[in-house]
Amino acid sequence: MKTYVVKPATAFSKSIDAIAPDKSISHRCAIFSLLSDRPSKVRNYLQGEDTLCTLEIVKQLGATVEMQEGEMLITPPIKLSEPPLVLDCGNSGTAMRLLMGFLAAREGFFVLHGDAYLAARPMRRIADPLRSIGAHIDGRKNGELSPIGIRGKQLSAFDYKSPIASAQVKSALLLAALTCEKPSHFWEPERSRDHTEKMLSGMGVHLVQEGLHVTLYPPVSPLNPLDITVPADPSSAFFFALAAAIVPGSKVVLKHVLLNPTRIEAFKVLERMGADITYTVRDKTYESVGDICVKYAPLQGVELSENIAWLIDEIPALAIAFACAKGVSRVGGAKELRVKESDRIATTVANLRLCGIEVREFEDGFEVVGGILREAKVKSFGDHRIAMSFAIAGLVCGMEIEDTQCVGTSFPNFLDLLKCLSNTHEY
Ligand SMILES: O=C(O)C1=C[C@@H](OP(=O)(O)O)[C@@H](O)[C@H](O)C1
Ligand SMILES: C=C(OP(=O)(O)O)C(=O)O
């Protein structure tokens, strides 16, 4: 088990151009490359454990993956292989859920499994709507828990109103819709991240977005391959935005970050709390990509109850900003946090209390009374976002974080970047 020891930092001014590539887009690059009949070209694919698992699965399904002058070439098979081994999604909910939708509609028998954390995460949110259109899917507890077994088959078009604002549910259903005979309709209660819609449209799928309603028209011919450079992940970049926002006198410029509005809401919250943030768009070819500059300014408490799906992964990190702010901050409508890599409401609250912060826990969120963070020894609970959030808190008060291998799932060079800000080590 690896432990980080983070020492308090003094004011810093840094430009960081090595933020990990976007995890959501990387997973989709690997899976969506199977939808074309020609090789996809992907630059800057995330070399994290989650996305490497997805790439391995794509290979087990028959694709070949080669590196050519820094560019990854993913050549899809003529026909998907039926792998003799189970498909290991590691720690990744995105991989398991998107692959459920994709494989349910393809010929063959497939078994998806993952690590102990993934094995505890709910899958009926995907299995049930897919079953209602004819899919053969099963798993422990009637398909709620992995391992998940899938016998792929022709599915019927759907009109599905999802009760959850989840891009993973939406993406699984849209992937299943690709092979249906008629157009399918998906409705979500709140807008979730829209990479699947953007990338499928870019590959030639006719997709119409009207508010919370997406209509997908099944393509009649194979899709165009991808040719894409994955931008830096705003969810990973946010840890260093937080660092600049809580270490007095600091400034950071985060380079080449994805600026998709469904992904940068946490930066907007930090701005509302008082941080000085500017965005410089550098590229707009596929998605808006650019630099985010964050300067320290005293933070004020904030109430969050809207656009929660747009900042769901950043809430543990925002909780550290709440602890450093003047006044009370509150998050509501975020019960999805309870079914991530850990129960992120319980784990954030437990760790903040160890740091001497007054916190109240609710079923769908928590309330933090801003105060003085105290040095503590905390656990990651096997959750990369909890580990990184409390490592950044350590820049203010010093921190020991146990069980930090999980950071490798999404941000393998996190520790190297942190070491540039403070005297941090690992044992
Ligand atoms: O679609 C995606 O790439 C993701 C969607 C989100 O999950 P939900 O859509 O289930 O909320 C997010 O938490 C996850 O890190 C990545
Ligand atoms: C929830 C996350 O990912 P996933 O659902 O893919 O495990 C995350 O990265 O915070």
Residue 313, marked binder = yes
User: Which ligand has the minimum distance to the alpha carbon of residue 25?
Assistant: 1
Residue 251, marked binder = no
Query: Residue type at 153?
Result: K
Q: Report which DSSP code applies to 134.
A: T
Of ligand 1's listed atoms, the one at least distance from the Cα of 28 is: 3
Mean pLDDT of all residues in 314-343:
98
Give the SS3 label for residue 255: strand
Tokens of 75: 């050549």
Would the CB of 51 count as within 6 Å of ligand 1? Answer: no
Would the CB of 33 count as within 6 Å of ligand 2? Answer: no
Query: Residue type at 421?
Result: L
Of 343, 349, 378, the closest CA to residue 361 belongs to: 349
Q: Whose CA is nearest to atom 15 of ligand 1?
A: 313
Quote the pLDDT of residue 285. 78
Q: Whose CA is nearest to atom 8 of ligand 2?
A: 313
Q: How many other CB atoms are found less than 10 A from the CB of residue 320?
A: 30
Distance (angstroms) between ligand 1 centre and the Cα of 398 equals: 30
Quote the pLDDT of residue 409. 98
Is residue 261 a contact partner of residue 290, using CB atoms and an 8 Å limit? no
User: Has residue 137 got a pLDDT over 80?
Assistant: yes
Q: Whose CA is nearest to atom 10 of ligand 2?
A: 313
pLDDT tens for each residue of 362-403? 999 999 999 999 999 999 999 999 999 999 999 999 999 999
Tokens 């690896």 found at: 2
Task: Pick left, alpha or beta for residue 221 (phi over 0 → left; psi -120 to 50 → alpha; otherwise beta).
Answer: beta
* Res. 286 pLDDT band, cuts 50 70 90: confident
Would the CB of 313 count as within 6 Å of ligand 2? Answer: yes
Q: Report which DSSP code applies to 329.
A: E
Of ligand 1's listed atoms, the one at least distance from the Cα of 24 is: 3
* Res. 85 pLDDT band, cuts 50 70 90: very high
pLDDT tens for each residue of 225-258? 999 999 999 999 999 999 999 999 999 999 999 9
Residue 344, marked binder = yes
* Res. 326 pLDDT band, cuts 50 70 90: very high
Give the mutation target among 32, 94, 343 for probing the ligand 1 site: most ligand atoms within 8 A of CB: 94
Quote the pLDDT of residue 56. 98
Quote the pLDDT of residue 202. 96
Q: Whose CA is nearest to atom 4 of ligand 2?
A: 93
Mean pLDDT of all residues in 41-63:
98
Mean pLDDT of all residues in 266-275:
98
The percentage of the chain sitting over the pLDDT mark of 90, rounded to a whole number, equals 97
Distance (angstroms) between ligand 2 centre and the Cα of 339 equals: 10
Of 356, 375, 406, the closest CA to residue 5 belongs to: 375
- Triad 333, 399, 334: Cα angle to 5°: 5
Q: What is the mean pLDDT of the chain?
A: 97
Would the CB of 341 count as within 6 Å of ligand 1? Answer: no
* Res. 291 pLDDT band, cuts 50 70 90: very high
Is residue 280 a contact partner of residue 291, using CB atoms and an 8 Å limit? yes
Quote the pLDDT of residue 284. 86
Would the CB of 383 count as within 6 Å of ligand 2? Answer: no
User: Has residue 206 got a pLDDT over 80?
Assistant: yes
Quote the pLDDT of residue 258. 98
Distance (angstroms) between ligand 1 centre and the Cα of 168 equals: 5
Q: From CA 186, how far away is CA 173, in angstroms rounded?
A: 8
Mean pLDDT of all residues in 399-419:
98
Residue 70, marked binder = no
User: Which ligand has the minimum distance to the alpha carbon of residue 344?
Assistant: 2
